[in-house]
Amino acid sequence: MREGTRERAFKGIGINVLFLGLVSFFTDISTEMVYPIIPLYLMSALGATPVLVGVIEGIAESLASLLKVFSGYASDRFQRKKAIAFAGYAAGIFYKLALLFAGSWTGILLARVIDRAGKGIRTAPRDVLVSESAEEGSLGKAFGLHKMLDMSGAALGILATYFLLRGANQTSGMRIQDSGYDYRLLFAISLAPAVLGLCMFFFIRQANPSADKSRKPFWQNIRQVDAQLRLYLLVVFLFTLGNSSNAFLILKAKAAGFDDVSVILLVFLHNIMASTLSIPLGRLSDRVGRKRLLVSGYLLFSACYLTFAVAGSSASMIAAFALYGAFTAMITGVERAYVAEIAPPALKGTMLGLQSTLAGVALLPASVIAGALWNAIGPAAPFLFGAALSFIAAMLLMVFMKRQKQIK
């Protein structure tokens, strides 16, 4: 790449964003090498039911999400964002080790809690570092670049898993669920990119970290929080009640006839779509506003879950995963940019953590509800439920946006 081209590509984006993106790139290679096979491993090798899968994912996400707001508050108060983020990413090493030694669903639950706890610790300080490294007018682009590298790593991790498992099948002549060794070998290999991700922290800079022990907890400064942000946090909670664990997407693909190895390619498609669209949609949010993208994203999610609900063929399932990738690109980076943009500067990390905490807390009942609906009614039920709640969330934001426009 020529120098002028490189400067234009990174215009408005600090070098920190690139290295934070590379941390996520390598970490997600490691994480996604094992995540798609966890529900398959639970059901095929350990005999778990869809309800138990939902409970495990819900407990892991919800308990770990409670750390996000405290991690964000600690980032605001002590300004040690890089150190806190590093600790969160380091938990990924212990996650893989826990998977290696897990012999039952309780061991998998412990491993998932460690993994999600690490995510809970790192998310808010990392997002604050991204927002502080972006120039004015380029916040969406910065979060888009980070998300693009994040999802590219996830796609590469999934692709690596696909070829490793397919090669193991061809070599042994056995199905994946018949061989616990294949899973543990994959868990061990996934440690390498996790270590590389931690090495990227040597290139990340944080200027003059200093403690502010006089800073009050966020609940004592709630009046500083913009009314738009308060409403959005409520909408996030409502939306997440219908957005259950992605494990159910994998189980739905299995129910549609995909085998344990080929279903991994569907997750790969989701990540490729998200990676490809993250920067363009982040830049679009810089031009047209975050809320328009958020409303469009919730409506797209509703259409996506309706597609999952009715999908019965390979083509419809492929379309559903592609739509889900577009939704991920449209929402994930944009919502973080939105929260970082309108949160009070002294509470930026806290608000980013609170947004993640609310979403995570809602995921426990969301996953339990999804598992119960699946068992009681059928595989389409949790997706119809999620589509309905997402549509309601989009309508709430649209009404709010209209009301704000009238006030102005």
Residue 66 belongs to domain with CATH number: 1.20.1250.20
3: in domain: no
Structural domain range at position 37? 11-202+225-407
Tell me what pLDDT residue 345 has: 74
Tell me what pLDDT residue 142 has: 83
What is the C-alpha separation between 392 and 399, in angstroms, rounded?
Answer: 11
Give the CA distances from residue 185 to residues 12, 97, 111, 153, 171, in Å, rounded to whole numbers and listed in that order.
42, 11, 16, 20, 14
For the chain, the 3-state helix, strand and coil shares in percent, each to the nearest 5, are 85, 0, 15
Give the CA distances from residue 374 to residues 95, 243, 302, 309, in Å, rounded to whole numbers and listed in that order.
29, 14, 18, 11
What is the C-alpha separation between 407 and 288, in angstroms, rounded?
Answer: 19
231: in domain: yes
Tell me what pLDDT residue 298 has: 93
13, β-bridge pairs: 134
- Do residues 275 and 148 make contact, with C-beta atoms less than 8 angstroms apart? yes
What is the C-alpha separation between 400 and 298, in angstroms, rounded?
Answer: 14
Tell me how many domains the chain contains.
1
Low-confidence ranges of the chain (pLDDT < 70): 1-14, 44-48, 62-63, 167-182, 207-226, 260, 401-408
207: in domain: no
210: in domain: no
What's the sign of the alpha-carbon dihedral 103, 104, 105, 106? negative
Tell me what pLDDT residue 366 has: 85
Cα angle value 288/293/299 (rounded, 5°): 145
Tell me what pLDDT residue 27 has: 92
Q: For the chain, count helices (H), then strands (E).
A: 16, 0
Q: Which residue has the tokens 């409403």?
A: 231
Tell me what pLDDT residue 360 has: 73
209: in domain: no
Q: What is the largest CA-CA distance in the chain?
A: 67
Tell me what pLDDT residue 403 has: 47
For 225: left if phi > 0, alpha if psi spans -120 to 50, otherwise beta; the answer is beta
2: in domain: no
Full-model pTM: 0.72
214: in domain: no
241: in domain: yes
Tell me what pLDDT residue 109 has: 84
Tell me what pLDDT residue 90 has: 92
